[in-house]
């Protein structure tokens, strides 16, 4: 009877009324055995009597959810316990003391059988349109760990992120979509373990389908689902940042958790069978190999089906389309996602590069993919913070980087524009530091990017000088206004809404402490900026989103676009070489709504002549710390180093 219940697919542990089917892909280790553990850690070893296409499998009766298990293999002369690569939960947070020997593997975290029944309380998916999407990059633990407005037991957890006060904050800020830093199970790299540090960001995947236990009070599976459900109730999407380009097993000499012991072909290898490192993390997953492609696709469907995830941001996504040394937009992965009835409906965001050859692929991902636009980041920071007056480049980014992303593919092909990300300076540090200060990472300040394009405005770090603070706050508003009123999907770092500083650390990946934890003790300036940002996000949805929608697809050529000097005359070819004060006029159709962008990067106030007609409403003027409802008609005096957005319905 039970032999008939045994099946090679799906891989992993699959429950039914009679018990559980266990199946694992393991062509490199045919002597593998299933090991079950009871509550006292006593083990039962079970033969995997069936095999098919490199899979070994067996059906075990009377297994219930919560059963811990692993797989025994022979590693040279020792028996090693390995995780199920398809494990859907882990029994505890993974940890070991270097080196990770076969003996220590038996005390490591174990795979857990999961029953995915859950009361979703008839919640529906938010399905936020692309042109209305506001991405809020958030660390599950870091954002709530110090939040005094929620019960202490929930701080730094999945449940903390969905507490009423936190959701109230998200709603007040106008957030539509939380982009969570990795919440799949993670193992810190050996060099961090030696320094008694952890991979706080989580970009070192252990088991792709298992939620990270560190963020759970009791049950990571149920608590993560609860978080998603409660956020969905309030119309907030959940986007997962996910890492398929490499795994926590590292390169040659790295720890053995599963894939290395089961089938080396999971990874890209050179001709001497050494691991190719196109990720900077020791190994590179090979998606031209069917089992590797399978686990990635199965993982994506797993999160969408069982957790109702709304989309994914793919770390170093060029790897996913890589055929060894080349990137291919027609790769099997892209084709497989495009035809999948579950995956083709969700948001797909690519970090469009990796560190291997042919690795920079901005603008080259297929239809249905949005891409993180680092050219927007670099151009806008250089323009406002470095005085790099490249008007043509700035204008191109403002208008949606159409040199890379044709408006014919909008809104679903809009670029993801950003100023700050988890890696790099926070918004506050961008205007407070000229140099990175990563000494706490233990690498003598050698780590982290050197090209920050920041400006400390005369003082390195924190300052009580009113003039310095005034300049910094204005530049924060310049950067955010440019981001929110450019054509694209705005990506904001969540802690920027609180003006959080990391003390100049631009690579705080191993700082599970106050450096990374959002500081909720806001100063007067911080409170003011948070309120301003909230109002600006509301203004973007009301004013800018319709323009993005109108300028997308077939209707894009039916609108008015004019570039002016401050005196109202059209810009000349010479003006595009470095004009410091210019205006962008946008109008819908022949006589529809109108927008004006008054940009003054010079050091002197400039008076702008406005197009004739009825009065313009001032959406914002970045020289002012608060939004004021007022109107202007014929001219407008724009302060130095600032910009304004004007609107006429």
C-alpha dist (Å) from residue 214 to 140, 206, 409: 10, 13, 40
Other beta carbons within 10 angstroms of residue 404's beta carbon come to 17
C-alpha dist (Å) from residue 568 to 163, 403, 577, 599, 636: 51, 27, 18, 13, 11
| Among candidate residues 205, 182, 14, 13, the one with its CA nearest the CA of residue 94 | 205
Exposure b/e, 60-69, CB count within 10 A at least 16 = b: beebeeebbb
Peptide bond into 512 cis (omega under 30): no
Exposure b/e, 103-139, CB count within 10 A at least 16 = b: eebbebbbbbbbeeeeeeeeeeebebebbbbbbbbbb
Residue 572 neighbours by CB under 8 Å, 6+ apart: none
| Among 84, 351, 512, 621, the one annotated catalytic | 351
CA torsion sign, 330 to 258 to 243 to 430? negative
CA torsion sign, 532 to 533 to 534 to 536? positive
Measure the CA–CA gap between 179 and 136, rounded to whole angstroms. 6
Pairing mode, if any, of strands 135-138 and 489-493?
Answer: parallel
Residue 126 in tokens = 């938010």
| Among candidate residues 329, 162, 132, 172, the one with its CA nearest the CA of residue 233 | 162
Active site residue 212: no
| Among candidate residues 268, 271, 237, 245, the one with its CA nearest the CA of residue 346 | 237
C-alpha dist (Å) from residue 627 to 535, 582, 645: 8, 22, 11
- Edge-to-edge strand list for the sheet holding 581-587: 560-565, 581-587, 594-600, 642-648, 616-621, 631-632
Measure the CA–CA gap between 363 and 397, rounded to whole angstroms. 13
* CA gyration radius, the chain: 26
Measure the CA–CA gap between 527 and 133, rounded to whole angstroms. 24
Pairing mode, if any, of strands 347-350 and 311-314?
Answer: parallel
Measure the N-to-C terminal CA separation of the chain; round to a whole number of Å. Answer: 72
Active site residue 351: yes
Residue 377 neighbours by CB under 8 Å, 6+ apart: 417, 418, 419, 421
CA torsion sign, 43 to 44 to 45 to 47? negative
Complete DSSP assignment for 479-513: HHHHHHTSSSEEEEEGGGGGT---TT-S--TT--S
Chain centroid to Cα 202, Å, comes to 11
| Among candidate residues 399, 504, 531, 383, the one with its CA nearest the CA of residue 450 | 504
Measure the CA–CA gap between 44 and 628, rounded to whole angstroms. 71
| Among 131, 132, 249, 315, the one annotated catalytic | 315
State the greatest distance between any 2 C-alpha atoms of the chain, in Å, as a whole number: 86
Q: Catalytic amino acids?
A: 315, 351
């Amino acid at each position: 009877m039970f032999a008939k219940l045994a099946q090679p697919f799906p891989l992993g542990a699959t429950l039914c009324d009679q018990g559980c089917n266990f199946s694992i892909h393991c062509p490199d280790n045919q002597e593998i055995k299933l090991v079950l553990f009871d509550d006292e850690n006593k083990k039962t070893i079970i033969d995997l009597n069936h095999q098919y296409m490199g899979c070994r499998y067996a059906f075990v009766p009377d297994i219930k959810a919560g059963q811990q298990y692993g797989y025994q293999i022979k590693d040279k002369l020792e028996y090693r316990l390995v995780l199920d690569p398809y494990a859907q939960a882990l029994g505890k947070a993974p940890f070991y003391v270097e080196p990770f020997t076969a003996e220590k593997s038996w005390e490591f975290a174990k795979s857990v059988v999961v029953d995915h029944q859950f009361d979703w309380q008839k919640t529906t998916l938010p399905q936020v349109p692309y042109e209305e999407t506001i991405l809020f990059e958030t660390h599950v633990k870091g954002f709530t760990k110090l939040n005094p407005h929620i019960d202490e037991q929930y701080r730094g957890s999945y449940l903390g992120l969905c507490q009423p006060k936190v959701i109230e904050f998200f709603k007040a800020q106008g957030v539509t979509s939380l982009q969570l830093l990795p919440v799949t199970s993670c193992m810190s790299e050996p060099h961090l373990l030696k320094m008694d540090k952890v991979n706080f960001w989580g970009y070192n995947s252990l088991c792709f389908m298992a939620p990270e236990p560190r963020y759970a009070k009791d049950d990571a599976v149920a608590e993560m689902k609860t978080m998603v459900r409660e956020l969905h109730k309030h119309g907030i999407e959940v986007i997962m940042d996910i890492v398929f380009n490499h795994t926590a097993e590292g390169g040659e000499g790295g720890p053995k958790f599963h894939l290395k012991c089961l089938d080396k072909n999971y990874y890209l290898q050179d001709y001497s069978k050494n691991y190719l490192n196109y990720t900077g993390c020791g190994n590179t997953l090979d998606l031209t190999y069917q089992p590797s492609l399978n686990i990635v696709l199965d993982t994506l469907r797993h999160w969408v089906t069982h957790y109702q995830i709304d989309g994914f941001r793919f770390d170093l996504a060029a790897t996913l389309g890589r055929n060894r040394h080349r990137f291919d937009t027609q790769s099997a992965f892209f084709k497989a996602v495009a035809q999948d009835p579950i995956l083709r409906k969700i948001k797909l965001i690519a970090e469009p590069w990796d560190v291997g050859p042919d690795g920079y692929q901005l603008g080259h991902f297929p239809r249905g993919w949005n891409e993180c636009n680092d050219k927007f980041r670099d151009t806008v920071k250089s323009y406002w913070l470095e005085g790099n007056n490249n008007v043509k480049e700035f204008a191109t980014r403002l208008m949606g980087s159409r040199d890379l992303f044709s408006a014919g593919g909008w809104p679903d092909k809009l670029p993801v524009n950003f100023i700050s990300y988890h890696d790099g300076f926070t918004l506050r540090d961008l205007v407070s530091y000229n140099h990175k200060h990563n000494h706490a990472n233990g690498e003598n300040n050698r780590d982290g990017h050197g090209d920050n394009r920041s400006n400390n405005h005369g003082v390195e770090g924190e300052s009580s000088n009113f003039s310095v603070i005034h300049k910094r706050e204005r530049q924060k508003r310049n950067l955010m206004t440019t981001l929110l009123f450019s054509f694209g999907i705005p990506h904001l770092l969540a802690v920027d809404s609180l003006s959080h500083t990391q003390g100049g650390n631009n690579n705080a990946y191993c700082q599970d402490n106050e450096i990374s934890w959002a500081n909720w003790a806001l100063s007067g300036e911080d409170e003011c900026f948070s309120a301003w940002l909230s109002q600006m996000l509301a203004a973007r949805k009301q004013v800018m989103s319709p323009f993005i929608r109108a300028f997308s697809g077939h209707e894009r050529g039916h609108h008015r676009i004019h570039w002016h000097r401050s005196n109202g005359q059209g810009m000349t070819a010479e003006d595009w070489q470095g004009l410091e004060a210019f205006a962008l006029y946008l109008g819908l159709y022949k006589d529809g709504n109108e927008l004006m962008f008054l940009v003054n990067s010079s050091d002197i106030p400039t008076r702008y002549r406005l197009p004739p007609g009825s009065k313009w409403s001032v959406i914002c003027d970045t020289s002012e710390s608060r939004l004021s409802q007022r109107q202007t008609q014929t001219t407008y005096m724009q302060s130095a180093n600032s910009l304004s957005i004007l609107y006429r319905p």
